[in-house]
Amino acid sequence: MNMQDLLNCLEYSESSYYLTGSRLNAHPAYSHAFRLAKEKCGLDGVYTLQGNDSNIPLCQNLLPIIYVCKANSEADAAEFHKLVWNQNIVPFLLVETPKTFRLYPSFNYNPRVAEKKDQSILVVAKTANAVLSNLSELKASAIDSGAIWQKWSEVVTQEKRVDTKLLKSLKSLSDWLQKHNLPRNAAHALIGKYVFLHYLKDRDILSDRKFSQWKIEKNTVFSRNATLVGFLNVIERLDDWLNGTLFPISEEGIGSPSLEHIQMVAGTFAGDDPKTRQMHLDFKAYDFQQIPIETLSMVYQQFLHAEGKGRGQGAYYTPIHLVNFILDELDAKVPLRKGMRVCDPACGSGAFLVRCYRRLIEREVEQSPEKHLSPFDLRELLTNHIYGIDVDEDACGVTELSLTLTLLDYVDPPDLEKPAYSNFVLPSLRDQNIFCCEEGFFDPKSIWQIEKPKEGYDWIIGNPPWKQLNPKKLEKGDKAALAWIKRNKNRFPVSGNQLAEAFAWEASQHLSEQGLVGLLLPAGTLFKTNAEKFRKSFFSTLNVWCVVNFANLRHLLFQGAKNPAAAFFYSCLQKNGDSVSRIITYAPFAVNQLARYEANRRKRGMLWTVIVNANEIREILPAEAATGSSQPWKLAMWGSSRDRFLLNSLDRRFPPLSEFKKKHGLKIHPGLELRTKETDEPVEYLPEIEGKKELDITVLSGYDDIFAFPEQALRRIDSDRAWVRKRGGKIPLQICYPPHIIVHAARKFAVFSNEFFVVPPRQIGIAGKTSQVDLLKALALYLNSDFAVYQQFLSSTFWGIERDRPDKTDLEKLPIPLDNLSDKGLSDWARLYDELAEASLKYFSAPKEPLFDGSEKPPDPSRLKEQLNDFVYTLLGINRTERWVIEDLLLIRKKLNEGKLAREAINPANKDEINRYAKVLKAELDNFLDADVKDQHRVTVFYDHELAIVKVEHPHTPPAGPAITLKVEDQKTKAEFEKLRSNLLSKQGQWIYFNHNLKIYEGRTTYFVKPRQRLCWLKSQALLDADEFIAEKLTFSGANS
């Protein structure tokens, strides 16, 4: 069995997703890596994931999944594994050897294991039966359907990828150097220098010819016998040749490395230094010809952070897949071509610019008849197209040398030792293309301002610093930025001196006529209250066509980042007034990423790609965004048009708590922050709280449905803690007096009490008069309702975005219907609250262990809680379908917060749940039609263990009959299901990754194709599917008429 037989067995030969031959050069983001793999690893082709919705640019990204290679021996196959691991692009490697087919995990390589045995995870005999039985999960159909991940997701791990392991090795080496008396900065500089030297050596830029020409012994630089003279000589030569220095090394003084330090680092990188064996560094595993040049940027940024420098400057390393994501979206709008200028106004160490330069080169190479560019052409592409600015000298140096390395990647030979290149000089980029400006992007007198192109830039890209400028603690570059913010506060408003927002504005002032911007900004910009003015001005002034909110992925994208990111794509409004009619917005959830297949693993690593699922894409009207409200963005992420309608209608009908408070003379305030006398700030003594009680919120952890506080949750305040801040510290005391309500900071409970006690900080107190006991009990009852939590979740600034702590402002937005209660109604509400409080206290006092002595079990408050919700729904006028929307958000969707993979959402829906979905879908479709006979839609659902197909027919003659749900078990149903599947999905390719709610229209019959994931079968989803179905049918009808 040969390679072609293998491709036939795996269904790759006829698949458009298998790239081979010239098609390997069609994707500029990967072409260079594919070419290297073809040259070094016998690459035949690459199986990929590709979005195929041409109407949605975001859904057209490409993701390599499997390299298929041919090796001349088993030893070569093992070497291919090492090389592909170093490339850090593809999770699987399938190699044909003379004897076997071998499958390797390309994100995992262990050099110590490699010394003893091959690391393939599967070895298959070269027979059709063996391939079909052992490699079935690698068949095209298995990849396209997602079945591959059920078996192999556990081998796709971030912590064993080359960049993660390299960084860990470098940090261990740094620790050793510091323990041996080399200061941290000097240790990082020496290590960074050797990383750079190995990039040059492994890529044959620093070739044997260069060493010979410079009369330097190679061993004096790259072995445990390295010398100070050899090391310093080669550095001096390289600085002259490459027009720049990187990681400067002191030759003498406290920060200068000794011979021992240099020999340790050189020997460790060579892989032969026994002193570091106990650290398990294994540097022989690293091949810097294959490791992407952008990894140099990552190494620099991470070392910068280790020094505490980068975090202060708001700098974070942007993962390459996120860089590609942003560039892909710009490329889909206006492809990057020769003649276009690109600028990164906060380029850091150059990841965005390197990727742009490579795309330009790849496009020119593809168009060149020789499929090759001369060094002169490569230099022109760099100097005429790529520009960057930064405040950090070292970062600019990394950018310059990374771009130079990229240029030399395409030169043969890369050391330029060829007669035709005798007149070629590498470009000097400083102050021509890369500008180190002490006051950065905002300095009106910088050399960049003088040299910048008058026509503007065609692409402005990057990840500018996210930090709020503190006028009392300005760092490098902050002074000019703060002056810019003050100078432009009316024209270009910025919230809280947020530097990233200033970058977003200023970038728009440096665009060419058709220029585009793609920037990563804090996602909080879309939601925080003090950014309303920014949003109002930004979305009315600029032509924003797309916003991608990465809030749900914040723990999975940036290592150690606290704040979520969002990608903003925009341009200037055209002089003719043309602008986008809709802003596309997309909030990817972890549950729809490849990470969802790792749900059974206790620890999930960082994402290695971002996948766009069409059912998460929403549209926002520019006029709606220009109101400055955060609600459109919150609902685009967590809600729907039904949520919007419900919340808006209730806001119109009932006053918010802020107005209800004024009408009834209630006081609302966060709790009291107690201090000790010895605290650093000015404090004053509060005699009225000494000896009184305060609520200990920690005692209540783990309890649900709390309506009264047990005695153990109230603790005595000693005299040493009866102190508060002098300015304003006493104000919250007023909400500690009864009657009052204590609202949990995360809205887990709202408890009425007639006792005085101190409300703790962050919890919110609501206090009234003694005559308002029933009103406060009714309010507490209402605040405990499902609707109140639902409204707070969808209306609060940061809940579900950045932190689960809605604040007092959020609470005061809650619509309050209690004035519509009669006196009897108010009494009934207060009585129900008393019953719940009694049940709550009994629950706290009851034994938690199983009872065998006949004692009374703890009461179950679920019946009373159900009655509570009935009271609230009735008073608000919320109908049955609106209840479904509320319940599904609280019980299922909300549990996906913070990137969680909640089993309630991802487990397969059972037959009852699928049947309920079908009934709701049918009812909604039938109810829409204004006809005497409502039974006009026939809904049939076929489902197996993987997916379900919903068949919606509109027969000419009603009645259509009840909804039917059929599990694919018997031969007849199976045959019908397979026929449907084959006919419907043959042209839909990899829909499971890119659209969890695929719709296919065939005349009067429509098919919905969905995975079995429970999230897709909620009753609220049936409502939304019906809405979308009706809207699309009306659109088709209007178009046809």
- Identify how many contiguous H helices and E strands the chain contains and give both numbers: 39, 28
Q: Phi first, then psi: what are they for 709, rounded to 5°? A: -95, 130
Report pLDDT for 273: 53
Amino acid at 513: E
Report pLDDT for 855: 56
What's the mean pLDDT in 482-505? 97
pLDDT surpassing 90 at residue 677: no
Residues with Cβ within 8 Å of 93's Cβ and at least 6 positions away in sequence, in order, are: 66, 67, 69, 80, 81, 84, 103, 104, 105, 106
Higher-pLDDT residue of 318 and 587 is: 587
Q: Are 793 and 851 in contact (CB under 8 A)?
A: no
Inter-residue long-range contacts of 872-880, CB under 8 Å, 24+ positions, other chains counted: 872/781, 872/782, 872/785, 872/786, 872/787, 872/788, 873/787, 875/817, 875/818, 875/820, 875/821, 875/825, 876/650, 876/654, 876/787, 876/817, 877/653, 878/646, 878/787
Closest CA to 781 of 865, 657, 878, 860: 865
Report pLDDT for 370: 87
Mean pLDDT, the chain, rounded, equals: 90
Report pLDDT for 924: 94
Report pLDDT for 681: 86
What's the mean pLDDT in 459-487? 94
CA distances, 591 to each of 524, 585, 789, 907, 1019 (Å) = 22, 18, 23, 11, 19
Tokens standing for residue 543: 């032509």
Closest CA to 464 of 326, 329, 345: 345
* Partners of 422 in beta bridges: none
CA distances, 964 to each of 2, 270, 706, 1011 (Å) = 48, 68, 42, 18
What's the mean pLDDT in 732-761? 96
Report pLDDT for 51: 76
What's the mean pLDDT in 745-750? 94
Q: Phi first, then psi: what are they for 945, rounded to 5°? A: -75, -15
Q: In what order do the strands lie in the sheet with 18-20?
A: 18-20, 43-50, 62-70, 92-96, 100-105, 122-125
pLDDT surpassing 90 at residue 965: yes
Place of tokens 């008058």: 454
Amino acid at 51: G
Report pLDDT for 917: 98
Report pLDDT for 726: 83
Q: Phi first, then psi: what are they for 623, rounded to 5°? A: -65, -35
pLDDT surpassing 70 at residue 244: no
What CA–CA distance (Å, rounded) separates 313 from 466? 8
pLDDT surpassing 90 at residue 492: yes
Mark out the alpha helices in 705-807 (DSSP H runs): 773-783, 786-795
Q: Are 976 and 1001 in contact (CB under 8 A)?
A: no
Amino acid at 1037: S
CA distances, 476 to each of 304, 345, 396, 436, 498 (Å) = 15, 15, 14, 12, 15
pLDDT-derived band of residue 597, with 50, 70 and 90 as boundaries? low
pLDDT surpassing 70 at residue 57: no
Nearest-10 crossing angle of helices 294-306, 393-409: 160
Q: Which H/E stretch holds residue 512?
A: strand 511-522
Tokens standing for residue 386: 């790529």
What CA–CA distance (Å, rounded) separates 553 from 565? 9
What's the mean pLDDT in 394-417? 92
What's the mean pLDDT in 969-980? 85
CA distances, 75 to each of 95, 105, 112, 917, 1000 (Å) = 11, 16, 15, 55, 49
pLDDT-derived band of residue 602, with 50, 70 and 90 as boundaries? very low
Report pLDDT for 725: 86
Report pLDDT for 634: 97
pLDDT surpassing 80 at residue 150: yes
Report pLDDT for 115: 85
Tokens standing for residue 329: 């979206």
What CA–CA distance (Å, rounded) separates 247 from 195? 10
Tokens standing for residue 113: 């294991």
Least confident interval from 317-321, 356-360, 881-885: 317-321
Report pLDDT for 857: 60
| pLDDT tens string 416-472 | 999 999 889 999 999 999 999 999 999 999 999 999 999 999 999 999 999 999 999
Share of the chain above pLDDT 90, in %: 68
Report pLDDT for 245: 72
Mark out the alpha helices in 462-616 (DSSP H runs): 478-487, 499-508, 532-541, 554-557
Other beta carbons within 10 angstroms of residue 1018's beta carbon come to 24
Tokens standing for residue 437: 């400006």
What CA–CA distance (Å, rounded) separates 313 from 307? 12
How many residues are recorded in the chain?
Answer: 1041
What's the mean pLDDT in 917-935? 85
Report pLDDT for 715: 94
Report pLDDT for 600: 42
Q: Which H/E stretch holds residue 102?
A: strand 100-105
What's the mean pLDDT in 1015-1026? 96
Closest CA to 570 of 610, 626, 617, 532: 626
What CA–CA distance (Å, rounded) separates 385 from 383? 6
Q: Which H/E stretch holds residue 345?
A: none
pLDDT-derived band of residue 215, with 50, 70 and 90 as boundaries? very high
List, as one string, the DSSP characters of 562-589.
Answer: -S-EEEEEEEEPPTT----S-EEEE---
What's the mean pLDDT in 301-311? 57
Closest CA to 269 of 292, 246, 285: 285
pLDDT-derived band of residue 301, with 50, 70 and 90 as boundaries? confident
Q: Which H/E stretch holds residue 141?
A: helix 140-145
What CA–CA distance (Å, rounded) separates 185 from 178? 9
Report pLDDT for 480: 95
What CA–CA distance (Å, rounded) separates 308 from 189? 15
Report pLDDT for 853: 52
pLDDT surpassing 50 at residue 43: yes
| pLDDT tens string 765-817 | 999 999 999 999 999 999 999 999 999 999 999 999 987 889 999 999 999 99
pLDDT surpassing 90 at residue 206: yes
What's the mean pLDDT in 240-262? 84
